[in-house]
Amino acid sequence: MFHKEGHKIIIITTAIVVAATLLADEFISISWLRMLLQIAFLVFFVLILQFFRNPKRHTKLNDKQVLSPVDGKVVVIEEVEETEYFKDKRIQVSVFMSPINVHVTRYPIGGNVLYSKYHPGKYLVAWHPKSSTENERTTVVVENATYGKVLFRQIAGALAKRIVNYAKEGKEVNQGSDQGFIKFGSRVDLFLPLDTNIKVQLNQKVKGGESIIAEM
């Protein structure tokens, strides 16, 4: 199953790979070189398919828990000053996504979308300390009556050139449902209350819509 954001790219890539393979077969007479190129085209095509895959996740709905919004590795757990929305101290948990991870972004909690904003910006590498405030990014805040407010931020990396955000202010959303997509790169930051119980550790691998990041 592939994410809808990849349908157009997959169709274009298929056409290019098929055309390139036929051209190589027609115009390259050296058999080993022709075979090498055709294998390279196939590998490229498989990588594109892998990037846009959208596997089904078995989300266990729980208003007391914050689930990971993406697949990847936990690279930051620290107390910071959140300056865009809360303007106070929060626990930041950041998940870095490599190009081979699923890049679908999912809602970490269910509830009402209070805030959704896009920020143009730079394309620093996703692990750069300033990427959270200087890179292209979107900020979304969701609130439910049990856990409260959770802010999460999609951040473009050096390769990511487009962030897709479906969150609309005033919309009711379900925990684990599709919130967006980051094309080619990056990370997601979560900003949680100081008294939350963090359930992950640095360098831990997590799965979007399933792994528990924090709970009351």
Q: Which residues are known to be catalytic?
A: 186
Q: How many CB atoms lie within 10 A of CB 79?
A: 9
Tell me the C-alpha distance between 141 and 22, whole Å: 49
Alpha helix locations (H) across 28-156? 31-51, 131-134
- Helix, strand, coil percentages (3-state) for the chain, rounded to 5, are 25, 40, 40
57: closest CA among 166, 199, 210?
A: 210
69: closest CA among 206, 163, 215, 168?
A: 206
Tell me the C-alpha distance between 80 and 73, whole Å: 19
Q: Is 209 left (phi over 0), alpha (psi -120 to 50) or beta?
A: left
